[in-house]
A and B are shown apart, each in its own frame.
Chain A
């Protein structure tokens, strides 16, 4: 009889867990989570919403485009398609860095054009609650603030979330 009770309790527990698994899923959706790729430029941490990232690749052969502005580092062959590589550090006022074995290219998507953003290293891919994204601090200059969607903390480290739509439309990124 005692054993029967234990079994019933176990079954109840299982049922609870089962029900919980249903109720948890919608909770995540209503929490308004954003997924973002966190990377570094010099020593600073930045992030791009994964809605705008197609793939992250190691640095392949980059062909220079003569006479192109310095933001456009060159072009690469991404599976038979030519993709430009952009170095956004000068736009964000971050000092330039050499390409190392840690360097990566984040290829964008869902923007007016496809380009590869050159970064010094990839840290992680994280989920961020929208309420945790704060507006950028006021010390940032107006031009830069335009390009920043907000900031959030990742293990006590401040990460700047870029506004990719604005950044991709900024004049420095384009040659027209």
Chain B
């Protein structure tokens, strides 16, 4: 095995060493606590994965041992045998043999060593088992010494993803120019660069504060200047003549104005410099994050190369003809995702080849191509990665699933016939669910598809299945392309801020309470004519109720596994790219919660899990939004605001500012149109432009205020006309506020409105 070009075990050895570590570790835990069922399940899966990977790289010796371990664990899982320490000893013998094989793999020597002695020893119904140390294959010990001598001291061996203190199973240093860095270290760097981005946002906010300080100073300057106007008045000249101090005072005022001007200039200069620095920091931190992120990207082909041979081997074994097509293998994906996705994909491919695609004679009989087609497609969609695994086989037999679900007591026969086909389909992703009657070398041990579902969920992805009898089965895996950054929708519900992964959000809109219909005991709304269940998000999450604005209830349409549910929330805040963080390994599965993150304000926020959310929404019985109408009717109701402006830009800008502050907004393009609107509807307040075609804003306000039929409604003028005369005119006409467009600022508008309502 002196291949210099490509090591056929390149990826296998990383995976296998890791599996071995986990198995070794787990065995010792099992010995302490043989009744730990989750651990047993996990070990069973590890052994299964090891077996699969070993066979993939044609290490039958290793595969056989793993297979045997899996067998015994399977029996223990089924409760057929007790895991005594004697059995654990036998496992250890096996694992030592695995280590011996891996040692050759790691060293690049021929790993096809004979392990039959170890296998014998494991299988022997040992009445007096030898201690593990004595039965360890003899190859291990001397080689370790040999290896130690040949490793040059300068080489630093960084074990990928290592959680354990390094053992003799560690991969020795490779001849390459690159530095291998543990995912953990890279993740830390990513997390830190994420923090940098958060801090950048804080810096940005500081620059806004500077701007408002400068604005305050300017305002103050104007007040001071207004004093000077008096000094020019003739009656003041008298005063000045009589009081000599007054002259000094005015000198001081002038001085003060100059100083203020200087301070403002200084602050503005500082602010502009600061702004530039922040921008620079922004681009650097974004670049850093991008680079750190890209450091983790590898072409998907790095894990898919082996698949062709793998499929060919399966086909040969099963006497099938299978062609594997891989589309999009050049797409670059996060290394961690690739690592995690390889085993699930292998299971899917194995499953498709074993169960999905029919034997040749059956295909011929059904007028299909002799050669079954199996297609793996990778696509980037938005910031997500979509992998589909499709075969043109017989499709999934729903009746078989139904029967198996009943047999395994997952469903009562009653339930089994009430359940929808789509829901039934997803039973194949449940642990321990297998419809295959015979256990083959390939699959059918009830392991496999649940591994897929678990792994994908762990990556915050989704699996959906489509199948058509006699035509095809398609598994669709939707994953984030990066685990570091997740685009999310920030919402508010039950007085909490929450995040929903954007990948599951189909649309957001607002509804009126009267649009809600009742179907059975559920509430539904019509979305493009289709009745869609409507659920209050806070109730699913067991958060306290927060009064919904009955006129405009914000709704998020969420879809997962082909199901669609509309969630009523209290607010749609916006889209955020977040750095995903875990809570800690003691909190593994909180219902409806996927992960967490820290927002720009430094506060943690929970990221919801759409799959569970939809699942739980279907089951829960909930209070209806339409209940308790009376209570909400008592709330202070704020009427809409009428914006009158002939400029489209101004209209839309004001509309968006007002709406984001929670006001409802009506628009009019001219005073005449506004006149029509005020006749039909009451408004809380009007925001009026001055210069418009036809009636001016002043005329409109005057006309409105003079007409006793109209309710008292305050109006604010927003105009580009800045002269004092205009302002006076506005006040004369009856306007309660005058904002000059040049100094127009969101907060000024909102504060003025708030003071008037």
Contact = CB atoms under 8 A, between A and B. Distances in A.
Interface of A: 61, 63-68, 72, 74-77, 80-84, 112-115, 168, 173-176
Contact of B195 (A61, A65, A80, A173): A80
Interface string B580-613: 0111111111111100111000111110000000
22 contacts: A61-B603, A61-B604, A64-B606, A66-B494, A66-B606, A67-B541, A68-B590, A68-B593, A75-B606, A77-B604, A80-B198, A80-B598, A82-B581, A82-B583, A82-B598, A83-B584, A84-B584, A112-B586, A113-B585, A114-B584, A175-B586, A176-B38
A66 B581 CA distance: 16
A75 to B, nearest CB: 5
A118 to B, nearest CB: 15
A65 B606 contact: yes
Contact of B589 (A66, A113, A175): A175
A168 to B, nearest CB: 7
A72 B589 CA distance: 13
A67 B592 CA distance: 7
Contacts of B668: none
Most-contacted residue by chain B among A76, A168, A176 (CB, 10 A) = A176
A77 B587 CA distance: 16
Nearest to B196: A80
B587 A175 contact: yes
Contacts, number: 91
The 8 closest A-B pairs by CB, nearest first: A66-B541, A113-B586, A67-B591, A113-B584, A63-B604, A174-B586, A80-B195, A75-B604
B542 interface: yes
B191 A84 contact: no
B496 interface: yes
A67 B590 contact: yes
Interface string B467-500: 0000000000000000000000000001011100
Contacts of A174: 586-588
Given A63-B496, A68-B590, A82-B581, 7 more contacts: A65-B587, A74-B604, A75-B604, A77-B602, A81-B581, A82-B583, A84-B587
B588 A176 contact: yes
A63 B586 contact: no
Interface string B181-205: 0000000000110010010000000
A87 B11 CA distance: 45
A168 B605 CA distance: 24
Which of A67, A68, A174: most chain B CB closer than 10 A? A67
Contacts of A112: 585-586
B543 interface: yes
A112 B29 CA distance: 15
Contact of B587 (A63, A68, A76): A68
Contacts of B587: 65, 68, 72, 84, 174-175
Contacts of B586: 84, 112-113, 115, 168, 173-176
B542 A82 contact: no
Given A67-B591, A176-B589, A77 B598 contact: yes
B301 to A, nearest CB: 35
A62 B586 CA distance: 18
A175 B603 CA distance: 22
B193 to A, nearest CB: 11
B279 to A, nearest CB: 23
A68 B587 CA distance: 9
A82 B582 contact: yes
Contacts of B192: 80
